[in-house]
Structures are given as C-alpha cells and as structure tokens.
Amino acid sequence: MKIEVENLSKKYKGEYALKDVSFTLEEPKIYGLLGRNGAGKTTFMDILAGNILATSGSIRVDGEDPFDNRRITESICLIKEGNNFKKDLKVKQVLKLFAFFYPGWDEELAGNLVKSFGLPANAAVKSLSKGMESALGIITGLASKAPVTIFDEPYIGLDVAARKKFYELLLETYEADERTIILSTHLIDEVSLLFEEVLILQEGSLALQREAEFLRENVCTVSGAVEQVEYFLKGKEVIEKKTFAGMMTAYVYSSMKEARESGLQVESVPIQELMIYLTDGRKGA
Ligand SMILES: Nc1ncnc2c1ncn2[C@@H]1O[C@H](COP(=O)(O)OP(=O)(O)OP(=O)(O)O)[C@@H](O)[C@H]1O
C-alpha cells in the first residue's frame, strides 16, 4: 500500500509534535522509523493508523484518509509498547477479535506463535507478565498479515532471546509475504540490519529518508591529519567533524571505497550513531 504524507502537522496544546512532514512510502519494505524521545514517532504512527487526526496536512493510504475509515484501518495493524488489549480479555478472545477485524488474519501462524512463546490461551491479559503481553502484541501484529503493520517499541519486558526470536519471525513472515512493516525502536543496533529504508524524525520534522543500504555504504568516518581530511571533505556533505591534537575525524557522506582510496583511516557508521549525530541539533541531511 502506498503511503503519502504531505505537510503533515500535529499540535498538542499549541506545541508541534509533528511539523510539516512530507514523504512517501512507495513499496512494501521494512522501514525503520527512528528518532530521539519526543521526536513525534508515536504521533505519526497514531495518525497513520487512523487513531487521531492531524492538525493540518494530509496522509493518504492508497489514496484514502485512514481516519474513521474501516476499509483502510482493516489494512493497518499498529502494535504499541503496551495497552494494546483490554485487560479482562483472555488471550484466546484477543486472538478472536483480531481474526474478526483483520481480513488477512493467519490463524495457523497465530496458533503456532502462541505455542512457541508459551502463552496460556485461557489466561486473562491482566494476568500476563510484561514480556508475555508484549509477545501477544508481536503475535497479533505478525498474524494480522495487515498490508501495513506497525510496531512501536513492541517488546517491553521481552528478554534478549525473545527479542531475537521476534526479529527472526518478522523477517521470516516478511519474506514469505511482503508487506509494509514500520518498526520504531530505540534498540537500533539490534535491528538495523533488518531495515531496508530508514526515516529519522527530529523534533517533529523529517531529518532523513534513505535506503539503509545507501547509508551502510555511503556514510563513514574519515580520520587523519587535519589538512588531509579537510582536503577530502571538499565538496562533500559533512555531518560532523572533530579535531584533536592535529588530527581530525569527520562524519561524511562519501562512498567507503572513495574514502579508502584517499589513504585516510575509514570506518563505517552504524545507523544508530548516524541517528545520534543527525539529531544532535547539528547539521542534518
Ligand atoms: N496526547 C498528548 N498530549 C500532549 N502532548 C503530547 C501527546 N502525545 C504526545 N505529545 C507530545 O508530542 C511530542 C511527540 O511525542 P511522541 O510520543 O509522538 O514522540 P516519540 O518520538 O514517539 O517519543 P518516544 O521515543 O519517547 O516514544 C512530545 O513532545 C510529547 O510530549
């Protein structure tokens, strides 16, 4: 499903949570939606899922506004970090509700995942541990097979092994059945290899939208003598540079190959680090 965002703004009590954000998500892909605390990620995901209205601008999913629009919302599944389910419902009732709401619901996958995460089908949501409740969110998100599936920090309380299992399942189900997956997370290092495209929000504005592979190959740090580094940086987009004792290290948009050929010391920049630099109130991309 194509998602078109145009000059989208959302204000809460006069303050912008999102400000004039425009971008398009063309194809089914795994998108990483990143940004510091309060950057506007959850606000955006809530508007996309049709839960809240924007203050101005528009969002179109296959040409339609998702707000109060069942045809679109049955194609979008948003799993948040908690409170996804009514506390009094039993696990099996939650699954039934999701099966009723989502036309593409995969009953077999849901059943297998419930067993594999060891969830008690007859237990009420309120009796589940935090990790188990997160597992239920992950199960419903994956089994919804919604053409747009959004996970907003879905793993509170999940230990590292369970999170690893989530990433594997996400990839497996995505490869079997491509759809748009938007994953918002602060554990960027853990998941960045899954991302095909990365969007970074900074204080309500879009700071970056780029293919993950482009970022892996075309953002690097170069270090060496100040003059040598300055010479290399000429005409290039520099994210950040630091000088210490006659040596300079710069974060720059440049192919790793070109940087290596310059004879400078070159290192790749993990997406997590790039996010930190781009959202540090310094130069953006
Ligand atoms: N219901 C609300 N009422 C008032 N202000 C809100 C509301 N929801 C969000 N905000 C504000 O809007 C801004 C963006 O919040 P949002 O939750 O979208 O950020 P986020 O990027 O998801 O942050 P985090 O990574 O901490 O979850 C913040 O300043 C937040 O305080």
**Measured from the CB, is residue 41 less than 6 Å from ligand 1?**
yes
What pLDDT, on a 0 to 100 scale, did the predictor assign at position 284?
40
Which residue's alpha carbon is nearest to atom 8 within ligand 1? 43
- 214-278 topology per CATH: Alpha-Beta Plaits (3.30.70)
For residue 98, count CB atoms less than 10 angstroms from its CB and return exposed for 0-12, middle for 13-18, buried for 19 or more: buried
Distance 107 CA to ligand 1 centre (A): 34
Contact yes or no for 135/151 (Cβ under 8 A): no
**Measured from the CB, is residue 38 less than 6 Å from ligand 1?**
yes
Mean pLDDT of the region 7-20: 97
Distance 172 CA to ligand 1 centre (A): 32
Distance 254 CA to ligand 1 centre (A): 34
Domain range list for the chain: 3-203, 214-278
The answer to ipTM > 0.85 is: yes
Instruction: Specify the ligand 1 atom closest to the Cα of 153.
Output: 27
Could you read off the pLDDT of 250-262 as tens digits, one per residue? Answer: 999 999 999 999 9
Query: Around Cβ 152, how many Cβ atoms within 10 Å?
Result: 22
Superfamily of domain 3-203: P-loop containing nucleotide triphosphate hydrolases (3.40.50.300)
Which residue's alpha carbon is nearest to atom 30 within ligand 1? 38
Residues ≥6 apart with Cβ < 8 Å to 219 = 239, 251, 252, 253, 254, 268, 269, 274
Would you list the DSSP string of 185-205? -S-HHHHGGG-SEEEEEETTE
Say if pTM beats, i.e. exceeds, 0.80: yes
> What type of residue is 123?
A
Equal CATH topology for 3-203 and 214-278: no
Could you read off the pLDDT of 106-151 as tens digits, one per residue? Answer: 999 999 999 999 999 999 999 999 999 999 999 999 999 999 999 9
